[in-house]
Structure 1
């Protein structure tokens, strides 16, 4: 299972078609994380100002029709993620059938993501 972070409104915008975030057009792939800890680090580094509620899609790699490649982050992993950690990149839209769970990002009083529920 891999994780992808998205504002809930964006995820709900096209329930009848595969999910294709802006990064697919700009970067050529959908950014994902390898586990919950890395996902929270990504949220705290890049998504603190994103529209809320913010959710993490738990994706079953075997149910994706697009190619998923584990690659090094460029230029470096976010703070709190060990150097050498590989991140899954999905080179095409995410099939909604691959989404096994939708977990909401929970925040502490200081505005930091602390867990997924």
Structure 2
């Protein structure tokens, strides 16, 4: 399996001391889009890490968590779906650094944000 291009958008941080991680190609994001999933403890620090993807608020919350907590591209690839990310983008509550990092690489997301 080949390496997946990624960017650690440096001055942009997901939180202090952690660079926001961004993929170059949204089509590489092929995470689950239905069912109930359980995020790893490294991403979601609570006992019940189950997410019901049919519940829109849980789906959005999972995307927010993964976008902020991911430190590797494989975490983004494993849990996010490109088309779903585009659809949810304007609704997501994200730190400014995460939003700017992703919108710099994917201008279409900036347009989605402006339209929301």
Instruction: Report the TM range for the smaller structure's normalisation.
Output: under 0.3
TM-score, normalised relative to structure 2: 0.26
Greater helix proportion: 2
Choose between structure 1 and 2: higher strand proportion.
Answer: 1
For normalisation by structure 1, the TM-score amounts to 0.26
